[in-house]
Amino acid sequence: MEPAELNHLASELLRGGLSVEDFVRQLSRSPIADTGDAQLDLDRHRRCGFPEVVFGEGKTLESLERIFTALRAENVDVFATRIKPDFAEELLRTFPTGRYSPLGRTFRIPLDQPPAEAEKNGGRVAIVTAGTSDLPVAEEARETALWMGADVRFVQDVGVAGPHRLPARLPQILGSDAVVVIAGMEGALPSVVGGYVDCPVIGVPTSVGYGANLGGMAALLSMLNSCAANVTVVNIDAGFKGAYVAGLIARNAARRRNS
């Protein structure tokens, strides 16, 4: 336990805001929750700023239920990605306050009572898509950024095949702390957006495209070779990863503005 956290607990104990039993329980709390087939990292929020996110693909329904129950017991704002619709239907029965995005395949169980000190300003993130076929990845990104507390602006279908569309939407993008640009086919849009903004641009290549797109490899290589100096790239279809990086950038930028 970090000294600052220990000092806070001791202060709460001395002023009567924390019982001896609760003080001992907090000190002895394990940083890991063992659900049988998962070892949940309960200390990640302190180390990294946000709690562990659950990757749902490949997990059984029973495993997800155990994981969610354990996280809820630790007062965690649960967020999971790649949750199948039939699993989501069952999870909503078990966790009726949960929210499922069928398009983005994300599942969230928000806190019943968010802590008073929770940050309201997580910065500004713009999410931009080249085409409507990229929307599933974009929705995963949007739900991730919202979970991180960002003010999210969503701009869709402004790909390079219709170059006049992007300038018309620039007012929604300019002033962002980070921009997530999601594109398949040849993946050119992040470079174009990068030439308009003064913040980091995170390119997310998608597997959308015809044969030579190679399941997103063409878009990935194109983005990696971007001539725009502010463009960086995450993995194919990784809407969560792109938005998570953008959310961290935006939160730190907001902290600097507010300090």
pLDDT in tens, 18-76: 787 777 666 666 677 777 788 887 888 878 888 999 999 999 999 999 999 989 888 88
Residue 15 has pLDDT above 60, yes or no: yes
Residue 24's pLDDT is 67
Percent of the chain with pLDDT over 90: 71
Say if residue 98's pLDDT is above 50. yes
Domain ranges of the chain: 31-115, 124-258
Q: Would you state the pLDDT for residue 73?
A: 86
Distances (CA, A) of 247 to 25, 135, 231, 237: 32, 19, 16, 17
The answer to whether 126 and 179 are in contact (CB under 8 A) is yes
Query: Which residue in the block uniquely carries the two structure tokens 């029965």?
Result: 93
The pLDDT tens digits for 236-257 are 999 999 999 999 999 999 988 8
Band (pLDDT 50/70/90 cuts) for residue 101 is very high
Q: Which residues contact 112 (CB under 8 A, 6 or more apart)?
A: 97
* Alpha-carbon separation of residue 159 from 36, 166, 178, 236, 244 (angstroms): 46, 7, 19, 17, 23
- Asked whether residue 203 carries a pLDDT value surpassing 90, the answer given is yes
Residue 117's pLDDT band, with cuts at 50, 70 and 90, is very low
Say what the pLDDT of residue 27 is.
Answer: 64
CB-CB contact of 244 with 144 (8 Å):
yes
- Buried/exposed code over 193-220 (b: 16+ C-beta within 10 A; e: otherwise): bbeebebbbbbbbbbbbeeebebbebbb
Phi and psi, residue 226, nearest 5°: -60, 140
| Residues 87 and 64: beta-carbon distance below 8 Å | yes
Share of residues in the chain with pLDDT > 70 (%): 90
- State the burial class of residue 153 (Cβ atoms within 10 Å of its Cβ: 0-12, 13-18, 19+): buried
Record the pTM. 0.86
Of the candidate CATH numbers 3.20.20.70, 3.20.20.190, 3.40.50.1970, 3.40.50.720, the domain formed by 124-258 belongs to 3.40.50.1970
128-146 average pLDDT score? 96
Contacts (Cβ under 8 Å, ≥6 apart) of 65: 91, 94
Q: Which residues contact 26 (CB under 8 A, 6 or more apart)?
A: 9, 18
Confidence of residue 86 (pLDDT cuts 50, 70, 90): very high
- Residue range 131-152: mean pLDDT, rounded: 96
- Comparing 50-54, 82-86, 176-180, the range with the smallest average pLDDT is 50-54
Radius of gyration of the chain (CA): 20
What is the pLDDT at residue 114? 62
Q: Nearest 5°: phi and psi at 113?
A: -135, 95
- Contact between 162 and 194 under an 8 Å Cβ cutoff? The reply is no
